[in-house]
């Protein structure tokens, strides 16, 4: 295991089950080239902040409503990222869109998990339960999750990994959401986190 690790910030907005999967993967050694040192929440009520605290990880809140503008929101986040010397950002259920001004600062250094097989059911307006509602409404038989790099196009960056999940009879959006998380998101995201962390260390000549 390398002594130096990529310093990771995880961005969250809600329950934080993907954050939990990342924390667990760090503890079990699936993630060994990176370390989560900061959790950034877009919402002060996010349960993900409690998960971070329980794991001994610092949390900060950037609440757009309170900060007043996209610029002020992103400036607050950037300030925290600089303070913690962050190398790599993981969007794990982060429900705010980041502007090009933000994403262009971290090329190939931001990844996101999306609960569908991109390019289906993605882009502006497709987030959380809504994605599963639309998949069921359309009547697709297979859905899944995607981990991708983040650029200025919502859900438009290079795909890193995808996993298919079958729709079953009687599925509700909630049941489907849970199956996609269990079978795809909670596995793909930690694996991608390790892959990108390792790449960062290699680029720096550390490993
Ligand atoms: C997850 O399903 C994640 O893929 C999705 O929101 C949920 C958050 O759950 N993200 C998006 O829709 C982003 N466009 P969590 O807070 O329990 O990880």
Nearest-CA residue for atom 8 of ligand 1: 93
Taking only the tens place, the pLDDT of each residue in 119-147 is: 999 999 999 999 999 999 999 999 999 99
Closest ligand 1 atom to residue 18 Cα is: 18
Strand residue runs (E) in 51-158: 58-61, 88-91, 110-114, 142-149
Helix, strand, or coil (residue 143): strand
pLDDT for the residue 169: 98
pLDDT for the residue 1: 58
Mean pLDDT, to the nearest integer, of 109-127?
97
Q: Is the CB of 115 under 6 A from ligand 1?
A: yes
Pair of tokens at residue 31: 């993630």
Cis peptide before 110 (omega within 30 of 0): no
Taking only the tens place, the pLDDT of each residue in 76-98 is: 999 999 999 999 999 999 999 99
Cβ pair 176, 132 in contact under 8 A: yes
Cβ pair 99, 152 in contact under 8 A: yes
Helix, strand, or coil (residue 122): coil
Which of these, 106, 206, 83, 190, lies nearest to 152 by C-alpha position?
106
Q: How close is the Cα of 34 to the center of ligand 1, in Å?
A: 21
Q: What percent of the chain has pLDDT over 70?
A: 99
Taking only the tens place, the pLDDT of each residue in 173-186 is: 999 999 999 999 99
Taking only the tens place, the pLDDT of each residue in 1-48 is: 568 999 999 999 999 999 999 999 999 999 999 999 999 999 999 999
Q: Which residues pair with 9 in a beta bridge?
A: 38, 89
Taking only the tens place, the pLDDT of each residue in 189-200 is: 999 999 999 999
pLDDT for the residue 2: 62
Pair of tokens at residue 76: 């607050």
Q: Kindly list the catalytic residues.
A: 114
């Amino acid at each position: 295991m390398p002594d130096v690790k990529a310093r990771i910030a995880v961005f969250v907005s809600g329950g934080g089950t993907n954050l939990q999967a990342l924390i667990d993967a760090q503890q079990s050694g699936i993630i060994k080239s990176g370390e989560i040192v900061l959790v950034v929440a877009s919402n002060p009520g996010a349960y993900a902040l409690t998960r971070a605290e329980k794991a001994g990880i610092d949390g900060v809140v950037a609440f757009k409503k309170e900060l007043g503008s996209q610029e002020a929101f992103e400036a607050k986040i950037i300030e925290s990222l600089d303070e913690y010397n962050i190398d790599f950002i993981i969007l794990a259920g982060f429900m705010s869109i980041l502007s090009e001004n933000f994403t262009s600062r971290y090329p190939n250094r931001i990844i996101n998990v999306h609960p569908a097989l991109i390019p289906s059911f993605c882009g502006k307006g497709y987030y959380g339960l809504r994605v599963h509602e639309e998949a069921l409404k359309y009547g697709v038989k297979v859905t899944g999750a995607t981990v991708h790099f983040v650029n200025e196009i919502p859900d438009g960056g290079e795909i890193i990994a995808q996993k298919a999940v079958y729709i079953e009879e009687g599925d509700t959006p909630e049941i489907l959401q849970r199956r996609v998380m269990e079978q795809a998101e909670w596995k793909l995201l930690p694996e991608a986190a390790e892959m990108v962390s390792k790449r960062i260390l290699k680029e720096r000549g550390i490993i």
